[in-house]
Amino acid sequence: MFIDKIDIYVRAGDGGAGAVSFRREKYVPYGGPDGGDGGRGGNIVFVADPSLNTLLAFRYRKKFIAENGDPGRGSKLHGKNGADVIIKVPYGTLIIDKETGKIIKDMSDEEPFVLCRGGRGGWGNRRFATPTRQAPNFAKSGTKGEAREVTLELKMLADVGLIGYPSVGKSSILARISAARPKIADYHFTTLSPNLGVVRTGEDSGFVAADIPGLIEGASEGAGLGHEFLRHIERCRLLLHVVDVSGSEGRDPVEDLRTINRELAGYSAELACRPQIIVANKTDLIDRESADLSGLEAYVSGQGYELIYISAATGENIDRLVRLAAEKLKELPPPKIFVSEYQPEDAYAGGKTRQTIVRRENEKFVVEGEWLINLLGQVNLSDWESLNFFQRVLRKSGVFRMLEEAGCRDGDTVSIYDYEFDYIK
């Protein structure tokens, strides 16, 4: 079974609590506080694995939770950090925020990506000792780890995509030009999932080709299998559009070309402009001298495409097709890499079910909410960039709007737990 889109839930570990402890040793009077800090919670880390080509593993496990950090202990002992959770995905997997639909990361390189960071460990009581407060009897709790629901969507990394109606010979061509061995049979939808093959053009050169199944009329609207697999063509730099010139299925190759190109345009305007080579297959089933192929040649010429006649069954012109594709690829830009659309503050925007309380106490406006405690633990309010991030979160999450609705005006004091500031619209 081929799985190329699935939703999962991930949560990083919480930070461990700081310890409240005092040094107690013989002959050491007034030992003072020695509570250690809590450990950091484990991160959620994604890694692209070249040995994977499907998201099938996530069908059986859709929840990933990292280990919490251990609490601190006496004698200034730091709590153990929580273990990271490493999630392996195929190359070309997009990580998308489920709520906003924005792309967080395109896993198209070997660099690990930390999606959710573990909570910071809380400070032990030794951190709070001062000349005037020499025996603090309190410590800080650790902050909670980040959590979110994401959609994993696989868009295969292939240079060349073989497209066309079912049974035109796409799988046979892939088997001819590469070491891939897809299932080949004379019935529609033999291929139920994309197949990848590496095409060698020299000792150290070549390209990756993908056989994309299920394209029929209505594919861009969900007919057949096309709606599921059109996404895999998006990264292809070149399309080999295969048609059956023998008419063995009773269809007109020109009308097939028009129909499939309409479906590409219906799915994506960018995809409709992708360079194509028209591959006229099954020439072994026709008499080239008597067959009338002028209509096909006129249409292809009018569209500005290149046309090549081949036979996947006999191997006719297969080598020429590979050379033509390789030469074309040299002129084309590298595969598309999807740019991240997601900003860190987006995690706090929108319709998340979190409680925020705004109330007035004398001349001060107090804002409370469990999520704000965790947010304050993640930002450094003495750093200008971190402070700007904090302000953007308050704006996107609607806190500023709630303050204004409660009567807060320019110059009024706002208190969010231990942090106070003057409100300026």
**Which candidate, 210, 200, 257, places its Cα nearest to that of 236?**
210
Using the predicted structure, report yes or no on whether residue 346 has a pLDDT greater than 80: no
DSSP 276: E
pLDDT in tens, 382-404: 888 888 888 888 888 889 999 99
Q: Is the pLDDT of residue 93 over 80?
A: yes
Q: Which of 122, 118, 119, 120 is nearest to 19 (CA)?
A: 122
Residues 344 and 112: their CA atoms lie apart, in Å, by 18
**Averaged pLDDT for residues 257-278:** 88
**CA quadruple 304, 309, 311, 314: dihedral sign:** negative
Token reading at 252: 């007109």
For 118, the enclosing helix (H) or strand (E) is: none
Please tell me the distance from the alpha carbon of residue 204 to that of residue 165, in angstroms, as a whole number: 33
- Using CA atoms in the order 108, 114, 115, 119, what is the torsion angle rounded to 10 degrees? 180
* Full-model pTM: 0.74
* pLDDT value, residue 22: 92
Nearest Cα neighbor of 50 from 86, 8, 90, 100 is 90
Comparing CA positions, the residue from 109, 155, 150, 151 lying closest to residue 268 is 155
SS3 call for 140: coil
CA torsion sign, 379 to 383 to 385 to 390? positive
- Which residues on neighbouring strands pair with residue 94, listed in sequence order? 106, 153
- Average pLDDT, integer, range 328-354: 78
Please say if the pLDDT value at position 274 is more than 80.
yes
Which stretch of 63-67, 114-118, 129-133 has the lowest confidence by average pLDDT? 129-133
Predicted local distance difference test score (pLDDT) of residue 44: 97
Over the chain, what is the mean pLDDT?
A: 85
CA 216 to chain centroid, in Å, comes to 28
Amino acid at 224: G
Predicted local confidence at residue 249, as pLDDT? 78
Q: What are the residue boundaries of the structural domains of the chain, listed by start? A: 1-154, 160-331, 347-422
Choose between 374 and 21: higher pLDDT. 21
Query: So what's the pLDDT on residue 46?
Result: 97
Strands, sheet with 44-48, edge to edge from the N-terminal-most edge strand: 85-89, 44-48, 113-116
Q: What is the mean pLDDT of residues 5-24?
A: 93
Instruction: Return the CATH fold of 347-422.
Output: GMP Synthetase; Chain A, domain 3 (3.30.300)
Q: In the structure, what pLDDT confidence band is assigned to residue 187 with cuts at 50, 70 and 90? A: very low
Would you state the structure tokens that stand for residue 260, as one six-digit string?
């499939």
Which two three-digit tokens encode residue 80?
């153990």
Once rounded to an integer, what is the mean pLDDT over residues 14-26? Answer: 91
Contact predicate 89/52, CB 8 Å: yes
Is 185's pLDDT higher than 60?
A: no
> Closest Cα partner for 171 from 134, 141, 197?
197
Q: Which two tokens stand for residue 79?
A: 């709590």
Question: Going by CATH, does the domain composed of 160-331 fall within 3.40.50.300?
Answer: yes
Calculate ∠ Cα 123-128-131, nearest 5°.
Answer: 160
Q: Quick one: pLDDT at residue 203? A: 66
DSSP 8-state secondary structure symbol assigned to residue 406 = T
Whether the CB-CB separation of 48 and 91 falls below 8 Å is answered with yes
* Residue of higher predicted confidence among 50 and 248: 50
276-281 sheet: strands from edge to edge? 195-200, 206-211, 160-163, 238-244, 276-281, 306-309
Q: What CA–CA distance (Å, rounded) separates 21 from 75? A: 8
Burial 105-116 (b: 16+ CB within 10 A, else e): bbbbeeeebebb
pLDDT band (50, 70, 90) for residue 348: confident
The pLDDT of residue 339: 86
* CB-based contact 103:83 (threshold 8 Å): no
Quick count: other Cβ atoms within 10 Å of Cβ 220? 18
Q: What is the pLDDT of residues 196-226, one digit of tens each?
A: 888 888 766 788 888 887 665 554 454 444 4
Of all helices (H) and strands (E), which one includes residue 254?
helix 253-267
Q: Does domain 1-154 have CATH number 2.70.210.12?
A: yes
Q: Which long-range contacts (CB under 8 A, 24 or more apart) does 354-363 make?
A: 356/397, 356/398, 356/399, 356/402, 358/399, 358/402, 358/403, 358/405, 358/406, 359/406, 360/406, 360/407, 363/412, 363/413
